[in-house]
């Protein structure tokens, strides 16, 4: 079974190959072509390292931290271009190390778009100083052998300078790169004690096709969560309920398996399993409350239709990977608990991202209560406060579940990511249990540049007013806005493109685009899109889910609740 394709595996491979290359430098008396091949490979490695250091320094754009190490590497990259542009046909271990580092760089860079916007949940880690320091430390491990070798090459080139004066610039560049040996060593000493490996588990943006099915399913769940928690998405009630069902099932299964494992051991190990079991039960209880609340709501949102299917697939794979016999032994339970230790890492992310999506719904007055004879009404202030707080509580419980599973015997299968999630989501007391550093990463996600979240108010007469920081206050008809929000953002932008005096900067949310169309060009909504109904929905039919019952366990046959404390797949 091959090693998972991650940033850490690629960067480690680059460091290993660079160390091997440093043990096989050109010997005295080597041919000039061989020496220049090594020089070109070193130049390529430094050029790639400078590009990668720039990404780590400022992943979301802006000035970045501009540390001395970063500045030196970026400058070295500009100089190193002169080396690997030399017309030398040979390939060395240095070239291979540069290729691996370049692949690691591209993998990480794919999680951020050109505008600095995050494209995945893993992109958040790029904003964590401890994670960046850890990646910079590995970068010193890769570049230090190259600097040492670069310092040794100019004396080997010197005998050829008389007959081949064109090699003099190469010798000068190598001398400059070799002079980085001391600064790189000093940077490593400063970085090493303070960095961690939170970036190591980051995989390809679209997932590793060779990963086990459960890992691929969880990756798709995380990717969908990221997309549905964006400011321009309005999540459906089915999607919210499906994610809550998945989180509840994971918590319940963790509770049951830790309880089983605790019956087979004694002493401190039993105590830690009991605590993990109790924490999983608390997490399940918080998700049960959220799920019960969501079953009594509806949403104007239509995004996330694929979520129930993703949850069913994930549940099937989870059952297949955690199946045990009637009387499992310690080894069997240790195996399935390792699966749950990996799977529970998604719990705080489900809670945080679902909470963000709910806040967007509340901002747009799109989370509705049970149907009444006059239609659906938005939920009250007390209910709004409760559901937001409930998701925050579930986020903390998910972080604590990870904490207590980390304290179990044996090495956690994804320890680096688990520690990062504890630092990000778990209460401060959990950090002391694990002996984590005082340096706490930012608990809030790095803000997305440019997003403007509008505020929607409803007047007593039913008229809506949308307050946007860029477009001012827009007064719109409720029914017209209801029709507009059924169109995609691309369709709305296309309608507004015919009105160049409406200045769009690309950061408008769906509700802002719909309000602009409803206020300035409502006639364009009378022509339906090819896949949209010809007649605008009535006020009573606004919620897209009124024609369907809420997604309860009966709608997800593999997520049926058997007992209050035993939700299974």
* CATH number of the domain enclosing 288: 1.20.910
User: What gap in Å lies between CA 348 and CA 342, rounded to an integer?
Assistant: 13
Residues 287 and 185 in one domain: no
| 148 and 21 assigned to the same domain | yes
**Boundary of a domain, candidates 120, 155, 190:** 190
Residue 521, pLDDT score: 82
CA 497 – CA 401 distance, rounded (Å): 49
Coil, strand or helix: which one is 516?
helix
What is the domain count for the chain?
3
pLDDT at 191 over 50: yes
In whole angstroms, what is the distance from residue 91 CA to residue 75 CA? 24
pLDDT interval class at 57 (50, 70, 90): confident
372 lies in the same domain as 270: yes
Q: Are residues 238 and 162 in the same domain?
A: no
Question: Domain for residue 360, yes or no?
Answer: yes
Write the pLDDT tens digit of every residue in 544-558.
323 333 333 333 434
CA distance 385 to 404: 29
Is the distance from CB of 383 to CB of 294 less than 8 angstroms? no
Q: Tell me the C-alpha to C-alpha distance, in Å, between residue 365 and each of 301, 380, 542.
A: 10, 10, 12
Closest CA to 114 of 59, 77, 56: 59
Q: Is residue 121 part of a domain?
A: yes
539 pLDDT tier (thresholds 50, 70, 90)? very low
Q: Are residues 255 and 399 in the same domain?
A: yes
Statement to judge: residues 482 and 425 lie in one domain: no
Phi, psi of 464 (to 5 degrees): -105, 145
The reply to whether 542 falls in a domain is no
- Look up tokens 């499992």; give the residue: 328
Residues 416 and 463 in one domain: no
Burial class (CB in 10 A: 0-12, 13-18, 19+), 311: buried
Specify whether 352 is located in the same domain as 264.
yes
- pLDDT for residue 144 is more than 50: yes
Q: How far apart are CA 169 and CA 154, in angstroms?
A: 10
* Residues spanned by the domain of 505: 455-522
Query: Nearest-CA neighbor of 47 among 19, 73, 72?
Result: 73
Q: Report helix, strand and coil shares of the chain as percent, to nearest 5.
A: 60, 5, 35
Give the lowest-confidence range in 13-27, 104-118, 327-341, 427-441.
427-441
The pairing of strands 464-468 and 472-476 is antiparallel
Integer Cα distance of 550 and 545 in angstroms: 7
Residues 178 and 226 in one domain: no
Q: What is the pLDDT of residue 91?
A: 81
In a domain, 166, yes or no: yes
Q: Are 98 and 81 in contact (CB under 8 A)?
A: no
pLDDT > 70? residue 527: no
Same domain, 218 and 320: yes
The reply to whether 118 falls in a domain is yes
Reported pTM: 0.75
Max mean pLDDT range (79-83, 103-107, 443-447) = 103-107
Task: Please name the residues in contact with 211: beta carbons below 8 A apart, sequence gap of 6 or more.
Answer: 4, 5, 203, 219
Pull the structure tokens for residue 183.
């600064």
User: Within this chain, do residues 369 and 294 fall inside the same structural domain, yes or no?
Assistant: yes
What pLDDT sits at residue 451?
A: 39
Q: Is residue 563 part of a domain?
A: no
């Amino acid at each position: 079974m091959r090693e998972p394709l991650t940033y850490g595996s690629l960067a480690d491979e680059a460091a290993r190959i660079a160390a091997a290359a440093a043990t096989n430098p050109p010997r005295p008396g080597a041919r000039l072509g061989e020496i220049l091949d090594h020089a070109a490979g070193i130049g390529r490695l430094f050029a790639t390292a400078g590009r990668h250091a720039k990404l780590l320094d400022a992943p979301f754009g802006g000035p970045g931290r501009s540390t001395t190490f970063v500045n030196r590497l970026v400058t070295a990259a500009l100089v190193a271009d002169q080396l690997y542009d030399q017309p030398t046909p040979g390939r060395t271990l240095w070239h291979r190390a540069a290729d691996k580092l370049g692949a690691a760089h591209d993998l990480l860079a794919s999680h951020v778009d050109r505008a600095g916007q995050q494209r995945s949940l893993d992109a958040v880690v790029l904003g964590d100083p401890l994670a960046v320091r850890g990646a910079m430390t590995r970068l010193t491990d890769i570049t230090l052998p190259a600097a040492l070798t670069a310092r040794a090459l100019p004396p080997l080139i010197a005998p050829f300078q008389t007959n081949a004066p064109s090699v003099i610039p190469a010798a000068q560049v190598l001398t400059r790169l070799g002079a980085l040996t001391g600064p790189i060593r000093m940077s490593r000493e400063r970085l090493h004690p303070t960095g961690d490996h939170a970036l190591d588990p980051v995989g390809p943006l679209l997932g590793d096709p060779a990963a086990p099915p459960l890992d691929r399913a969880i990756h798709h769940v995380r990717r969908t969560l990221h997309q549905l928690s964006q400011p321009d998405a309005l999540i459906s009630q089915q999607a919210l309920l499906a994610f809550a069902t998945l989180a509840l099932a994971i918590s319940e299964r963790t509770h049951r398996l830790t309880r089983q494992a605790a019956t087979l051991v004694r002493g401190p190990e039993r105590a830690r399993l009991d605590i993990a079991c109790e924490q999983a039960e608390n997490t399940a209880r918080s998700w049960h409350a959220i799920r019960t609340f969501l079953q009594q709501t509806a949403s104007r949102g239509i995004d996330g239709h694929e979520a129930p299917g993703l949850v069913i697939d994930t549940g099937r794979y989870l059952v297949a990977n955690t199946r045990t016999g009637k009387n499992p032994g310690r080894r069997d339970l240790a195996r399935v608990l390792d699966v749950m230790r990996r799977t529970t890492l998604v719990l705080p992310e489900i809670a945080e991202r679902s909470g963000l999506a709910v806040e967007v719904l509340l901002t747009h007055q799109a989370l509705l209560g049970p149907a009444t004879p006059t239609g659906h009404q938005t939920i009250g202030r007390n209910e709004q406060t409760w559901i937001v707080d409930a998701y925050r509580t579930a986020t903390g419980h998910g972080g604590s579940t990870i904490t207590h599973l980390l304290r179990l015997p044996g090495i956690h299968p994804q320890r680096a990511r688990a520690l990062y999630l504890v630092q990000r989501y778990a209460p401060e007391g959990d950090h002391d249990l694990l002996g984590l550093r005082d340096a706490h990463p930012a608990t809030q996600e790095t803000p997305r540049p440019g997003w403007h979240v509008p505020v929607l108010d409803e007047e007593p007469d039913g008229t809506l007013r949308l307050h946007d920081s860029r477009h001012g206050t827009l007064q719109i008809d409720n029914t017209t806005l209801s029709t507009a929000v059924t169109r995609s953002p691309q369709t709305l932008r296309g309608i507004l493109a015919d009105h160049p005096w409406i200045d769009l900067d690309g950061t408008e949310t769906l509700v802002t685009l719909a309000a602009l169309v409803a206020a300035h060009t409502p006639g364009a909504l009378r022509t339906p899109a090819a896949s949209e109904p010809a007649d605008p929905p009535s006020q009573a039919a606004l919620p897209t889910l009124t024609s369907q019952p809420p997604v309860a366990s009966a709608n997800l046959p593999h997520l049926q609740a058997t007992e209050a404390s035993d939700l299974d797949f």
